[in-house]
Amino acid sequence: MAAPVLMRLGSGFAIHAAEETETHGISGFGDLKYPADFPHFEYVNPNAPKGGTFSHISGVRQYNQNFLTFNSLNSFILKGDGAQGIELTFATLMAGAEDEPDAMYGLAARAVRTSADGLTYRFLMRPQARFHDGTRLTAQDATFSLNLLKEQGHPIIHQMTRDVLGAEAESDEVLVVRFAEKRARDVPLFVASLPIFSRAYYGTRKFDETTLDIPLGSGPYRVGRFEPGRYIEYQRVTDWWGAKLPVSIGVYNFDTLRFEFYRDREVGFEGFTAKNYLFREEFTSRTWATRYDFPAVRDGRVKQELIADDTPSGGQGWFFNTRRSKFADPRLREALNYAFDFEWTNKTIMYGAYKRTHSVFQNSDMMAVGPPIPEELELLEPWRGKVPDQVFGMPFVPPVSDGSGQDRTLLRKGSQMLQDAGFPIKGGKRVNTAGEPITFEFLIDEPTFQPHHMPLIKNLATLGIEATLRIVDPVQYRARVDDFDFDVTVERFNFSTTPGDSLRSYFSSLAAATKGSFNLAGMANPAIDALIDKIIEAKTRPELVIACRALDRVIRAGFYWIPHWYNPAHRLAYWDVFSHPENSPRYPRGIPESWAVTWWHDRNKTAKIEKSG
């Protein structure tokens, strides 16, 4: 649908002859699977009953959220440790479809009108949208929220909205968002996914502060009971205004969503066996391989499932803080890769459950493989002589060991690389160019990863490097990582199949200097910045894939990390009180987990379990 537009500019008006296109959804490349009159997403059960409880330990977080604890109900700022799941209490302009790479469809906004140049979006608000106190949710609230988050929100939000020039309410029904020229492709999607706050509520409260006051929301759930650091419950809003919309049919089925917090994975597992919570995604391969033989598993009261994960697995590994001079030389960082025996670790500690990670785009077609093809070279040639020569050859692949745990061939190679780079052995210690011993500390926040660190630390000692492990409490860990106060730490990240501006939070020079960003390694490389821009500017998906592969080559040639491992499947265990759709969506967003949203409480199964004891 096309129509002439009337734009409000400041206190005046200007007639724009350019036409707008009205659509019921948006996506990175404009492709939408579902038509305007779709009844519901294909991956849901539209007849799923409402009721029951879904309780779990969440494996995902956003912004300031912490896996192990919480002390605030504000998860959209840098301060504090936000409660997981709080995003469920807020409506957004649009809702994502989990069976499409990045498509979103109307929620608080029924449709959007986009200018011909793609720089002005008019979101048409639903008149029935309400906050939980019954007051109307309008374009005024959406404008207030976007400007508030851009100014006072978490640094990642600030960075992701830097191409937003401004937002204003043309009326209660129309939100106008203006974007900068050459804006990132995914910025409108990000804007459409941000929470909408009540302007009246925050008119008498500070936003940029930690608080345990329950915020006024407008989403499918509201905050229920909670105990900081232990659990938080969200209660379904039974008269929610959005319940009958196509994006909401068959989802948000549980009356109660409960997030549990355990600071020790072993204690958390024992809590599951005792039915203290009902659903568990198992992240510890040893536990999955050896511990699921308790009585409830044997008699069928607890079920186990493997669900394929077709999304890009991203990267997990030990990230070097290159802001510190000890890690300034990429040759040293490369050599340290030869001290990690993945094959032994996988076999001995992780029961052979994992595959080795090579790329930040692992498990996707965006990962660089083999020598660069001509289209990649076209993007890389301007940087010849400014990036390592390896960028123009085969991408770095971590060495494969003999599985002994102390592969002498690899350790000799690592030692020789250090020697050649100017890091000799003196007095039995590896020293830098100033003759000082090379030492560093691994920082983690739970003991589960300790067995994975110790063999690496032992091999580093063989190379003459003294490394230590420090385990700190979750709050201190989050504060230190946000402040980049560490030598080496473990981090995991992944991207959608259509990455864009989000890459800046992980790899850009700006993020390297932004506290709270995900650029833990401190990558500050003009070539990386330029290639991120190329990804953002891509007009087609093939162009996007080519640019991502080029970026992957430069990052891998920088040796910013020691890559870990990935599992192309979700390991799920749950008490048999749930049912779920036959088919899982291909691109689950993860916040909150897809199963918490699309599954439902099965009364018949519950009665059977209760009868069997």
Token pair for 383: 């940087």
Query: Which residues on adjacent β-strands are paired with residue 303?
Result: 574
Helices (H), 74-186: 139-152, 155-160
Q: If pLDDT is split at 50, 70 and 90, which confidence band does 119 have?
A: very high
Cβ contacts of 507-513, under 8 Å, gap ≥ 24: 507/360, 507/532, 507/551, 507/555, 508/532, 510/159, 511/159, 512/323
Give per-residue pLDDT as tens, 151-189. 999 999 998 999 999 999 999 999 999 999 988 888 999
| Amino acid (one-letter) located at 162 | R
Q: At what angle do helices 541-558 and 526-537 cross, to 10 degrees?
A: 170
3-class DSSP assignment, residue 298: helix
Q: What is the DSSP string of 489-539?
A: EEEEE---SS--THHHHHH-HHHHTSTT-S-TT----HHHHHHHHHHHH-S
Contact 57, 262 (CB under 8 A): yes
Nearest to 445 by CA among 408, 470, 421: 470
**How far lies 578's CA from each of 232, 237, 253, 300, 598, in Å?**
21, 21, 11, 13, 11
| % of the chain with per-residue pLDDT over 70 | 96
This prediction has a pTM of 0.83
Q: If pLDDT is split at 50, 70 and 90, which confidence band does 612 have?
A: low
Average pLDDT, the chain: 92
Q: Minimum mean pLDDT among 191-205, 255-269, 381-395, 599-613: which range? A: 599-613
Nearest to 265 by CA among 449, 520, 123, 129: 449
Give per-residue pLDDT as tens, 196-221. 999 999 989 999 999 999 999 999 99
503 contacts: CB under 8 Å, gap ≥ 6:
495, 532, 535, 536, 551
Q: If pLDDT is split at 50, 70 and 90, which confidence band does 336 have?
A: very high
Nearest to 114 by CA among 106, 104, 124, 101: 124
Rounded to whole angstroms, the Cα distance separating 471 from 161 reads 35
Helices (H), 196-316: 199-202, 265-273, 285-290, 295-298
Q: If pLDDT is split at 50, 70 and 90, which confidence band does 16 have?
A: very low
Q: What is the pLDDT of residue 448?
A: 85
Secondary structure (H, E, C), 431-474? ECCCCCECEEEEEECCHHHHHHHHHHHHHHHHCCCEEEEEECCH
**β 109-115/120-125 pair status:** antiparallel
**How far lies 265's CA from each of 250, 260, 353, in Å?**
32, 12, 18
Q: What is the DSSP string of 122-139?
A: EEEE-TT-B-TTSPBP-H
Give the CA angle between residues 571, 582, 350 to the nearest 5°.
Answer: 10
Rounded to whole angstroms, the Cα distance separating 337 from 356 reads 13
3-class DSSP assignment, residue 376: helix
| pLDDT greater at residue 29 or residue 586 | 29
What is the dihedral sign for C-alpha 146, 149, 155, 156? negative
Residue 3 backbone phi and psi in degrees, to 5: -155, 145
Contact 65, 516 (CB under 8 A): no
**Residue 591 pLDDT greater than 90, yes or no:** no
Token pair for 419: 């020697």
Rounded to whole angstroms, the Cα distance separating 504 from 518 reads 9
- Taking the chain, what is the end-to-end CA distance rounded to the nearest angstrom? 59
Nearest to 211 by CA among 219, 220, 200, 202: 202
Q: If pLDDT is split at 50, 70 and 90, which confidence band does 497 have?
A: confident
What is the dihedral sign for C-alpha 115, 119, 125, 129? positive
| pLDDT greater at residue 338 or residue 10 | 338
Query: Which residues on adjacent β-strands are paired with residue 25?
Result: 105
Rounded to whole angstroms, the Cα distance separating 64 from 152 reads 13
> Distance of alpha carbon 440 from its chain centroid, rounded?
28
Q: What is the pLDDT of residue 19?
A: 84
Average pLDDT on 120-146 reads 97
Query: Is the bond preceding residue 588 a cis peptide, omega within 30 degrees?
Result: no
Query: Which residues on adjacent β-strands are paired with residue 112?
Result: 23, 123
Q: Which H helix or E strand runs over 412?
A: helix 408-420
Quickly tell me which residue has 């003009």 as its tokens.
526
**How far lies 432's CA from each of 34, 375, 442, 460, in Å?**
59, 40, 19, 15
**Residue 267 pLDDT greater than 50, yes or no:** yes
Contact 212, 228 (CB under 8 A): yes
**Residue 492 pLDDT greater than 90, yes or no:** no
Burial of 124 (0-12, 13-18, 19+ CB in 10 A): middle
Nearest-Å Rg of the Cα atoms of the chain is: 25
Full set of structural domains in the chain with CATH = 22-265 (3.40.190.10), 315-566 (3.10.105.10)
Quickly tell me which residue has 């919309």 as its tokens.
245
**Residue 398 pLDDT greater than 80, yes or no:** yes
Length of the chain: 613
340 contacts: CB under 8 Å, gap ≥ 6:
318, 398, 456, 459, 562
Average pLDDT on 438-464 reads 95
Average pLDDT on 50-78 reads 92
| % of the chain with per-residue pLDDT over 90 | 81
**β 120-125/164-169 pair status:** unpaired
Rounded to whole angstroms, the Cα distance separating 605 from 391 reads 56
Q: What is the pLDDT of residue 491?
A: 92
**Residue 11 pLDDT greater than 60, yes or no:** no
| pLDDT greater at residue 342 or residue 607 | 342
Q: What is the pLDDT of residue 453?
A: 97
